[in-house]
């Protein structure tokens, strides 16, 4: 009898250890995130906040500090939730829903998934525009889901049965580059994705044509380093980029030159 009890307990511990996610493996929606925490879930939350245009910093650090708390409060206020700066169940569920106006890597991944189901024929640009909404609607109707053009949990769950097709391939290209500052003529100091360049002038960031480099992409720029594609510009068309440089003299020194760009993710 004792041996049987020991065997049952051992099996139970094994099942719990193997089948349940650890704290580091839990998805954003599985637990509450708050100030002081530092992990990959916070990094994922920050990426989603940037997708919603409410995260003013230029990269996901994985640390839940004052910037993240303020960004969560801003998202909560816009979404009709209690604005306490804590990413609980309601906040996490709502922030993972993609809809018109969102932009960044999560949207680019959605577009790749839609392409794998042959319902999206547009460019992978990381922008949830009319074409993406129409593709989501077509997929939802095809699969018998509620057709609202919004990519929520059920839509993603069905899309991800072909998840392997959504991986972003590493891409290299040569582009014409120029440089800009936060105070250039016609510049607001805030990028297309909501990054505040006047407050955070240490940003490694470039403006791109989303038809060539999707918004939200992480890139390696020759002579500049790793950066995020978080801005656009009226003159930035085709194989051309604008690199952000805080000081005007340094931006002028950069000038105009051909550089190699590697799109990492």
Task: For residue 104, give the nearest of 58, 52, 67, 151 by alpha carbon.
Answer: 52
Superfamily covering domain 29-95: PGBD-like superfamily/PGBD (1.10.101.10)
- In our burial notation (b when 16+ CB lie closer than 10 A, e otherwise), range 121-138 reads ebebbbbbeebbbebbbb
Tokens (6 digits) for 156: 């993603």
User: Chunked in runs of 10, what are the mean pLDDT values of the chain (265 residues)?
Assistant: 42 39 48 95 97 95 97 97 97 97 96 95 96 98 97 95 66 95 83 94 96 96 97 94 95 96 93
**What is residue 71's predicted lDDT score, i.e. its pLDDT?**
98
3-state secondary structure the chain: CHHHHHHHHHHHHHHHHHHCCCCCCCCHHHCCECCCCECHHHHHHHHHHHHCCCCCCCCCCCECCHHHHHHHHHHHHHCCCCCCCCECHHHHHHHCCECCCCECHHHHHHHHHHHHCCCCCCCCCCECCHHHHHHHHHHHHHHCCCCCCCECHHHHHHHHHHHHHHCCCCEEEEEEEEEECCCCCCCCCECCCCCECCCCCCCCEEECCCCCCCCCCEEEECCCEEEEEEECCCCCCCCEEEEECCCHHHHHHHCCEEEEEEECC
**What is residue 167's predicted lDDT score, i.e. its pLDDT?**
61
CATH topology of domain 171-263: Barwin-like endoglucanases (2.40.40)
**What is residue 166's predicted lDDT score, i.e. its pLDDT?**
56
Residue extent(s) of CATH 2.40.40.10 domains in the chain = 171-263
**What is residue 265's predicted lDDT score, i.e. its pLDDT?**
85
Tokens (6 digits) for 68: 């993240």
**What is residue 163's predicted lDDT score, i.e. its pLDDT?**
60
How far is residue 79's CA from residue 101's CA, in Å, rounded to a whole number?
Answer: 14
How far is residue 237's CA from residue 46's CA, in Å, rounded to a whole number?
Answer: 28
**What is residue 24's predicted lDDT score, i.e. its pLDDT?**
36
**What is residue 55's predicted lDDT score, i.e. its pLDDT?**
96
How far is residue 20's CA from residue 26's CA, in Å, rounded to a whole number?
Answer: 9
Residue extent(s) of CATH 1.10.101.10 domains in the chain = 29-95, 105-166
**What is residue 52's predicted lDDT score, i.e. its pLDDT?**
97
User: 221 has which bridge partners?
Assistant: 225, 261
CATH topology of domain 105-166: Muramoyl-pentapeptide Carboxypeptidase; domain 1 (1.10.101)
Does residue 73 contact residue 82 with C-beta atoms inside 8 Å?
no
Q: Apex CA 89: angle with CA 86 and CA 94, to 5°?
A: 95
């Amino acid at each position: 009898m004792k041996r049987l009890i020991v065997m049952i307990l051992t099996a139970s511990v094994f099942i719990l250890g193997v089948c349940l996610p650890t704290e580091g493996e839990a998805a954003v929606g599985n637990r509450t995130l708050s100030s002081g925490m530092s992990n990959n879930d916070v990094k994922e939350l920050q990426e989603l906040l940037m997708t919603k245009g409410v995260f003013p910093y230029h990269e996901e650090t994985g640390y839940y500090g004052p910037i993240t708390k303020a960004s969560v409060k801003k998202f909560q206020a816009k979404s009709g939730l209690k604005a306490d700066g804590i990413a609980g169940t309601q906040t996490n569920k709502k922030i993972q829903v993609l809809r018109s106006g969102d932009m960044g890597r999560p949207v680019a991944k959605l577009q790749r998934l839609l392409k794998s189901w042959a319902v999206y024929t547009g460019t992978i640009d990381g922008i949830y525009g009319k074409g993406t909404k129409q593709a989501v609607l077509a997929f939802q109707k095809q699969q018998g889901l509620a057709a609202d053009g919004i990519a929520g949990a059920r839509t993603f769950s069905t899309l991800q049965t072909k998840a392997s097709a959504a991986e972003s391939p590493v891409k290299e290209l040569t582009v014409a580059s120029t440089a800009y500052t936060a105070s250039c003529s016609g510049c607001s100091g805030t990028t297309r994705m909501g990054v505040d360049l006047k407050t955070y002038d240490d940003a490694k960031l470039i403006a791109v044509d989303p038809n060539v480099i999707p918004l939200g992409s992480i890139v390696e720029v020759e002579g500049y380093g790793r950066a995020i594609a978080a801005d656009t510009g009226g003159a930035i068309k085709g194989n051309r980029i604008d690199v952000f440089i805080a000081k005007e003299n340094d931006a002028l020194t950069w000038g105009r030159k051909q550089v190699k760009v590697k799109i990492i993710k």
